[in-house]
Structure 1
């Protein structure tokens, strides 16, 4: 047996040895899918002598792409000159692959090869401009909602003309108008948004048979990672490339499909066998990450989903500690409990800070966590905060570089025309823009003509001060362009921008902590440019020595068209996870969505309550609820050794304080793998069935230790709430085992028709003692938007169950 096959289990080996034809690999969490993909490529190259030139491997993050390439090179070794044997392979994200194709052949469909990629902020700016020009109120028609609708259309390969023919409702008609103008503005700026990269690449392949044949013949083996997360545009792209040789290998797990909000369609992986009836299907179910206890809990949650491929993960690491289910009074106590447990595990088990992750459903939950972590001086890193490339100073410098690369980029020009302040105010910019529209030229050309004394084509009335500032800006830009033509280095160009604009000097003169931090960020940007310059230098060396062909690189002799464009493209397509440093000594705080693909020895999942997780938006939609359940499954399977499920009896979120009910996902988990604890008196805990409370918390010893533990924590944690202050609230709450209606149950109302119970509770009498069913209430969600969710007293409401 070859060394490539030796470390694999039987299922992994079968996937690696599959030679030709469609292959679907269902790879459960922690089952070694990256290893399988890398070993499969290495096996085909070494054992079957397939040229690396014929491989296309598509991932969802640059981090995953780099890891795959490194693993492949580690398996197949290096050439005699020491260079990687995987040269010629295309390994990258969907967007990077499409951008590369469009840089090479985009002119065939009318796309300027010098296009820039607008990030989310640029796209929002363009949407706002379109709304303003159409005289539409951006407060009434939210730019984010408009952009989301356009993005969804592009993911479905629906252009503005086709969208217009299908737009039926009022909002869709508004979107249609904005969509047309938005696309026009993108092209005027010689720009693409992220969705364009996919849609235009598909358009290129389907409109140009010669180009399609080129890529089909080159990429005889197509591998796609995380196939459960693809959208329709990505599906069509892969189908077009793999059509000829049909050697398509997709790896994914429908149980981990959690990105429908950005266009992912779990049905695409589930219908793969219909698309390719001769496909070989292999399930990877041996888990190398978690304990069996954690896997059993995760399976108990996910098995409730109806639309899934049955698979059950197992591991040789039998047993494991039970999951801790902990009850707190409120979200402050929840955060304090997490901090306390981290401290205990560090002291008792020698855990490091980076061994811990705190996962939550929505970003708003991080505020209290951050406050408590700061209060107790626990180092943490917040994943999902402002990304590096979205920070002001970084966007400013990048805007200069983008404008030098593409002078048609009016979005970047507007950003830096008065940064640093140079006397070109908003009124001056408005006058310049009006002239641009009147003469049908871009904003930079208008500035150039205003600054030139040799033209009378532009007549614009500016104050002497503003006119002088515009002239000086035009001269600055011209000098930077001249420098760019000779510098040959992104780093030197960026340093020249910092010098000539005096951006760095002005920051240093501020002498504030904020300014110092911004300078540190700029230095980090220069580190990124230096790294890029070194890579380009290596590629040019290989090209000169005949070790690399033009088709294997986007490097060209022209600095602007190649080096700068390639750098800016890489920046635009970088994801936050690509900058992930797992060695940083800090506790990780992140959303459950952001945790996908990561692993931690200890995981805390907080906010395990109905309407928080699962999210309230999913209550009346079976499809959304299944995705919420998949998200819970993803969270549980991030853990290697221990899971803490934490919930609060009352929570303040979005400015509203409400009593909480334990998440249905927790109630799906069997007692045998749970250990229940509480920070509040067991007499106040009514959310857990008495059979479970008695096992874990109703014994005298537990009650005594809990009371002692609570008292000690109150002394240690300033501002912690006294549990007795919540006794009257908690004693009113309705146990989930006694209400005659259950969350999720279908009911019929005499006036409003059929609905679904989304919350249950009770109202106490003045004595604080709960009486019987006449005091019980339920919240019912009705499908009609005019009715929505109604809170109904059971003693009065004409309500009946639907069997």
Structure 2
């Protein structure tokens, strides 16, 4: 299996000591490299499964990595630490929650739950949502947490104007109520794990000893808290394999810091940089266009993607005046392909935000073309599912006020605010 790797992939797999930055261009087989290296450590180097920590950014990527490792080893790996930053932190917090004043049955609030709690905060502080909008405050609190800024320091970093002072007050009470309700929000999971590890030496030593090898996928998309967590956990063994692409960092708007990957050699002494430049996904025409664009980046690491796939059509770039013009031009192209005998099942229209789908759907309807919107409303965002989850949460965590508020009148019981407070 390892013989099928190309030379640079082999180098990334067989280098097992010290920090390694694998700069993986698009379609270069980075997941294959990660899973092959895990396999190599377990089968050839005698490393135990419990010594490996592999961190990805999405549940889908974690599932794929786990399935590939399982397929290579031909044995169950469900107990291995392969998961997202947040799922890994949840495992740590479940074990040590009492150190931070929580119980192991703590709730995890999603955006809707946080907004519900924020309404209570506003009421207690006598603040109108017309003065400071809920979503704005949640975004500000999230940004603060991802930059390790706590309520008492908020105005120091974000200004001493009226809005910042109010957000600081809201942030403080929001945190206090979450603790009272034995709950974390999504951003808490990493920052609270950092607080735990920094505050309790025995917990830090346990995980530093445990994880001899740490793998981090999509390293270019890490934010400050994720970066600090990787540095902290890897400090003893320093066997970090970080995989990423400095030319694909597009999540700065949600806290990703490109300097994390650019400063890898400075942050991890005696590190190696290995470039995966061979592309297995695209034709040379597409790669040539990508290289022409990427070479304009003012970045530290330069890569040149290449492939032995020479046949293919040149990509077409169009600059159109409006969203509607773009939608109709795309659908017109779909219609032309249909007349040439191409199948709809072979076509896909990708768009960056959900808001863009409306124009595309209108154009498809106008041309009489059947289509499927992939995804749609997420399962766990449906009202009935959130209601069921809230009931289950209350069974585990009776102090969760947000979940209790959600279900108190589901099904409708005619319980008003006065009766609710009396019952609580």
Q: Compute the TM-score of the two structures, normalised by the length of structure 2.
A: 0.94
**Counterpart mapping for 1:238-637 below 5 A:** 238-326=230-318, 331-346=323-338, 348=340, 350-353=342-345, 355-375=346-366, 376-383=368-375, 385-424=376-415, 428-433=416-421, 435=422, 446-447=423-424
- Change over 3 Å in CA distance of 1:18–1:349 after alignment to 2: farther
Structure 1 counterpart of 2:115: 124
- Change over 3 Å in CA distance of 1:405–1:274 after alignment to 2: same
SS at match of 1:256: coil
The reply on whether 1:24 has 2:21 as its aligned counterpart is: yes
SS at match of 1:97: helix
**Counterpart mapping for 1:176-215 below 5 A:** 176-215=168-207
Return the offset for 1:347. 5.6
Q: Distance in 2 between matches of 1:120 and 1:359?
A: 26
Return the offset for 1:75. 1.5
Q: Distance in 2 between matches of 1:141 and 1:240?
A: 37
Structure 2 counterpart of 1:139: 130
Return the offset for 1:305. 2.2
SS at match of 2:242: strand
SS at match of 2:306: coil
Structure 1 counterpart of 2:66: 69
Return the offset for 1:337. 3.2
Structure 1 counterpart of 2:216: 224
Structure 2 counterpart of 1:148: 139
Q: Distance in 2 between matches of 1:144 and 1:228?
A: 27
Q: Distance in 2 between matches of 1:351 and 1:315?
A: 28
Return the offset for 1:112. 1.8
- Change over 3 Å in CA distance of 1:135–1:397 after alignment to 2: same
Q: Which structure: larger Rg?
A: 1
Return the offset for 1:132. 2.5
Q: Distance in 1 between matches of 2:144 and 2:58?
A: 23
SS at match of 2:116: helix
The reply on whether 1:158 has 2:149 as its aligned counterpart is: yes
Q: Tell me if the contact between 2:331 and 2:360 (Cα under 8 Å) persists in the aligned partners.
A: no
Structure 1 counterpart of 2:12: 15
Q: Distance in 2 between matches of 1:406 and 1:374?
A: 48
Return the offset for 1:286. 0.6
SS at match of 2:317: strand
Q: Tell me if the contact between 2:285 and 2:312 (Cα under 8 Å) persists in the aligned partners.
A: yes
Return the offset for 1:173. 1.0
Q: Tell me if the contact between 2:216 and 2:241 (Cα under 8 Å) persists in the aligned partners.
A: yes
**Greater relative contact order, per chain length (Cα 8 Å cut-off, separation 6+):** 2
Q: Which runs of 5+ in 2 are unaligned?
A: none
Q: Distance in 2 between matches of 1:364 and 1:25?
A: 35
Q: Tell me if the contact between 2:66 and 2:78 (Cα under 8 Å) persists in the aligned partners.
A: no
Q: Distance in 1 between matches of 2:309 and 2:342?
A: 21
Q: Distance in 1 between matches of 2:234 and 2:5?
A: 27
Q: Distance in 2 between matches of 1:406 and 1:44?
A: 40
Q: Tell me if the contact between 1:31 and 1:284 (Cα under 8 Å) persists in the aligned partners.
A: yes
Q: Distance in 1 between matches of 2:296 and 2:172?
A: 43
SS at match of 1:422: coil
Return the offset for 1:137. 2.0
- Change over 3 Å in CA distance of 1:292–1:349 after alignment to 2: farther
The reply on whether 1:108 has 2:108 as its aligned counterpart is: no
String of CA shifts for 1:308-362, please: whole Å, max 9, x gaps.
Answer: 5211211111242122234667544532332332344356464452x43323344
- Change over 3 Å in CA distance of 1:169–1:337 after alignment to 2: same
Return the offset for 1:170. 2.3
Moved over 6 A (4+): none
Q: Which runs of 5+ in 1 are unaligned?
A: 79-83, 436-445, 448-803
Return the offset for 1:380. 1.8
- Change over 3 Å in CA distance of 1:169–1:382 after alignment to 2: farther
Q: Compute the TM-score of the two structures, normalised by the length of structure 1.
A: 0.51
Q: Distance in 1 between matches of 2:319 and 2:141?
A: 43
Aligned-residue Cα RMSD (Å) equals 1.9
Return the offset for 1:164. 5.0
Q: Tell me if the contact between 2:121 and 2:174 (Cα under 8 Å) persists in the aligned partners.
A: yes
Q: Tell me if the contact between 1:132 and 1:138 (Cα under 8 Å) persists in the aligned partners.
A: no
Return the offset for 1:147. 1.1
Q: Tell me if the contact between 2:89 and 2:193 (Cα under 8 Å) persists in the aligned partners.
A: yes
Q: Distance in 1 between matches of 2:197 and 2:107?
A: 21
SS at match of 2:373: strand
Q: Tell me if the contact between 1:199 and 1:233 (Cα under 8 Å) persists in the aligned partners.
A: yes
Return the offset for 1:283. 0.5
- Change over 3 Å in CA distance of 1:227–1:393 after alignment to 2: same
String of CA shifts for 1:269-307, please: whole Å, max 9, x gaps.
Answer: 110010113001001111111111111222222322223
Return the offset for 1:397. 1.6
Return the offset for 1:111. 2.1
String of CA shifts for 1:557-586, please: whole Å, max 9, x gaps.
Answer: xxxxxxxxxxxxxxxxxxxxxxxxxxxxxx
SS at match of 2:350: strand
SS at match of 2:278: coil
Higher strand share: 1
Which piece of structure 1 moves more, 401-410 or 16-25?
401-410
